[in-house]
Structure 1
Amino acid sequence: MLTTGITVHVAMETSKGQVEIELAPEVEIPTAWSKKAPWPRCLSRWPSSDRAKCVKSFGFSLLARWHYHWQLSFLQAERVLLEHLDEDGGCRRRCFQALRQMKEDVWCPGRRPVITSHHLQTVLFWTCEKYPHAKDWGAFSKGLLRLARKLHKCVRQRFLKHFFVRSGNLLQHATAAELDAVAQRLALFLQDPGPSCGLLTFCSGSSSVDGCRQVPGSCPGGQRRAVKGVLPTSSTSEA
Structure 2
Amino acid sequence: MSASASHWRSYLGAIVSHERQRLEHFQRAEDILLTLLEDVHARDPRFLVDYARNLEAFEFALCTSEDAVTVEVPLRINGDALRVLACWPGDAPAGHCLGLGTCCLEVPSPGTDLEDWTSTVGVMEQGGGMGCLVPGKVLQHLKELLVSAIVRCQRLFLFQPGDLSAENLQEDAMELSLLIRGGWKTIRFDIVPVVRRRQEPLWLKGRQKDRGFPEGSLWRATEEAHFVPASAHHWRSSTHLPILKLLRAVDTLKGHRLDSLRLLNQLRSQDWGEEGGKAGITFNHLKMVLLWSTELFPCPEDWQDLEGSVYRLLVILLRCLATRHLPHFLHLEENLFRGEAPDFASLYRKVESFARDPRRFLHFHFGLPARTDSWQTDPGTQALLQLPTEDRSYWDTAYFDILLSQFQVYRIQDSTRHSAMSQLLSKIQREIPQQS
TM-score (normalised: structure 1): 0.69
Give the structure 2 partner of residue 78 of structure 1: 243
* Cα shift at 1:41: 4.2
2-structure distance, mates of 1:75, 1:6:
15
- 1:189 equivalent among 347, 354, 359: 354
**What SS does the corresponding residue of 1:49 show, helix, strand or coil?**
coil
Alignment check: 8 A CA contact 2:273 2:280 kept: yes
Unaligned 5+ residue runs, structure 1?
Answer: 200-232
2-structure distance, mates of 1:5, 1:195:
41
The CA deviation string for residues 10-44 of structure 1, in whole angstroms up to 9 with x for no partner, is 56778898876654432222x2246xx43384324
1:59-98 equivalent positions in 2, closer than 5 A: 59-66=224-231, 68-98=233-263
Does 1:32 pair with 2:203? no
Alignment check: 8 A CA contact 1:94 1:140 kept: yes
1-structure distance, mates of 2:171, 2:190:
10
1-structure distance, mates of 2:405, 2:233:
48
2-structure distance, mates of 1:54, 1:24:
22
2-structure distance, mates of 1:19, 1:121:
20
**What SS does the corresponding residue of 1:28 show, helix, strand or coil?**
strand
- 1:101 equivalent among 266, 276, 280: 266
Alignment check: 8 A CA contact 2:279 2:341 kept: no
Q: Report the structure number with the largest CA radius of gyration.
A: 2
**What SS does the corresponding residue of 1:173 show, helix, strand or coil?**
coil
Alignment check: 8 A CA contact 1:46 1:129 kept: yes
Give the structure 2 partner of residue 221 of structure 1: none
- 2:304 equivalent among 138, 142, 151: 138
**What SS does the corresponding residue of 2:250 show, helix, strand or coil?**
coil
Does 1:115 pair with 2:115? no
Give the structure 1 partner of residue 171 of structure 2: 3
Alignment check: 8 A CA contact 1:103 1:109 kept: no
Alignment check: 8 A CA contact 1:40 1:52 kept: no
1-structure distance, mates of 2:236, 2:252:
31
**What SS does the corresponding residue of 1:197 show, helix, strand or coil?**
coil
1-structure distance, mates of 2:180, 2:217:
36
* Cα shift at 1:159: 1.1
* Cα shift at 1:129: 0.3
* CA separation of 1:175 and 1:65: change in aligned 2, threshold 3 A: same
Structure (1 or 2) with the greater helix fraction: 2
Give the structure 1 partner of residue 406 of structure 2: 235
Give the structure 2 partner of residue 160 of structure 1: 326
The CA deviation string for residues 167-207 of structure 1, in whole angstroms up to 9 with x for no partner, is 11111111143x332222112212211211258xxxxxxxx
* CA separation of 1:25 and 1:173: change in aligned 2, threshold 3 A: farther
**What SS does the corresponding residue of 1:60 show, helix, strand or coil?**
strand
**Amino acid across the alignment from 2:266:** Q
* CA separation of 1:51 and 1:22: change in aligned 2, threshold 3 A: closer
**What SS does the corresponding residue of 1:85 show, helix, strand or coil?**
helix
* CA separation of 1:14 and 1:150: change in aligned 2, threshold 3 A: farther
2-structure distance, mates of 1:137, 1:40:
26
* CA separation of 1:140 and 1:5: change in aligned 2, threshold 3 A: closer
2-structure distance, mates of 1:148, 1:87:
22
**What SS does the corresponding residue of 2:358 show, helix, strand or coil?**
coil
- 2:221 equivalent among 41, 55, 66: 55
2-structure distance, mates of 1:117, 1:14:
22
Give the structure 1 partner of residue 290 of structure 2: 124
* CA separation of 1:11 and 1:48: change in aligned 2, threshold 3 A: closer
* Cα shift at 1:128: 0.6
* Cα shift at 1:152: 2.2
* CA separation of 1:137 and 1:5: change in aligned 2, threshold 3 A: closer
* CA separation of 1:11 and 1:180: change in aligned 2, threshold 3 A: farther
Alignment check: 8 A CA contact 1:158 1:171 kept: yes
Number of aligned residue pairs: 200
* CA separation of 1:42 and 1:117: change in aligned 2, threshold 3 A: same
CA RMSD of superposed structures (Å) = 3.3
* CA separation of 1:11 and 1:173: change in aligned 2, threshold 3 A: farther
2-structure distance, mates of 1:234, 1:15:
46
Alignment check: 8 A CA contact 1:60 1:75 kept: no
2-structure distance, mates of 1:68, 1:193:
48
Give the structure 2 partner of residue 203 of structure 1: none
Alignment check: 8 A CA contact 1:24 1:65 kept: no
